[in-house]
């Protein structure tokens, strides 16, 4: 697609429910990233996928959080047993990897985000 698409744009859920957030990256981008932005806070890294390599999960805050990327394209971020502190905007980005001389290489393109509210 022309940009990074995220769905849903808004999600309100009750504490304890599971939620799934979807990200459709730019076609041809091998790298995909999930970040979280809480009110008044900076962006917090969650997880990173690059091609067929094992994902970097070092930013996931707890084992309630997981993500997968199917076929090297669409990614789903799953939050189980949601808590109120999970309320945030979840941002997805994609990029293509390349040398510094290649225009656009390593530049992240972000989606508009999924705003999650846990009541």
Partner 1 sequence: KQEVTQIPAALSVPEGENLVLNCSFTDSAIYNLQWFRQDPGKGLTSLLLIQSSQREQTSGRLNASLDKSSGRSTLYIAASQPGDSATYLCAVNYGGSQGNLIFGKGTKLSVKP
Q: Which is nearer to partner 1, 16 or 98 (CB)?
A: 98
Residue 53, classified by CB atoms within 10 Å of its CB into exposed (0-12), middle (13-18) or buried (19+), is: exposed
- Please report, to the nearest 10 degrees, the dihedral formed by the alpha carbons of residues 91, 68, 98, 3 taken in order: -40
Shortest separation between residue 16's beta carbon and partner 1, angstroms: 28
By CB under 8 A, name the binding residues for partner 1: 4, 31, 33, 35, 41-43, 45, 47-50, 56, 58-59, 91, 93, 97, 100, 106-113
- The answer to whether the CB of 108 falls within 8 A of the CB of 95 is yes
Q: Which is nearer to partner 1, 66 or 83 (CB)?
A: 66
Shortest separation between residue 44's beta carbon and partner 1, angstroms: 8
Q: Which is nearer to partner 1, 14 or 28 (CB)?
A: 28
Q: Which is nearer to partner 1, 10 or 62 (CB)?
A: 10
Shortest separation between residue 22's beta carbon and partner 1, angstroms: 15
What backbone torsions phi and psi does residue 79 show, to the nearest 5 degrees? -120, 120
Candidates 89, 91, 82; CA nearest to 32 is 91
Tell me the CA distances in angstroms from 102 to 75, 105, 106, 107, one per residue in order. 26, 6, 9, 10
Shortest separation between residue 73's beta carbon and partner 1, angstroms: 16
């Amino acid at each position: 697609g022309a940009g990074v698409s995220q769905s849903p744009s808004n999600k309100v859920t009750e504490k304890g429910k599971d939620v799934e957030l979807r990200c459709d990256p730019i076609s041809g981008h091998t790298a995909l990233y999930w970040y979280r932005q809480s009110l008044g806070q900076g962006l917090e890294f969650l997880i990173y996928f690059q091609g067929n390599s094992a994902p970097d999960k070092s930013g996931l805050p707890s084992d309630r959080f997981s993500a997968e990327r199917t076929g090297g394209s669409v990614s789903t971020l799953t939050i189980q047993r949601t808590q109120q502190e999970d309320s945030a905007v979840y941002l997805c980005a994609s990029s293509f990897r390349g040398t510094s001389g290649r225009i656009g290489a390593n530049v992240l393109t972000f989606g508009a985000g999924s705003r999650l509210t846990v009541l």
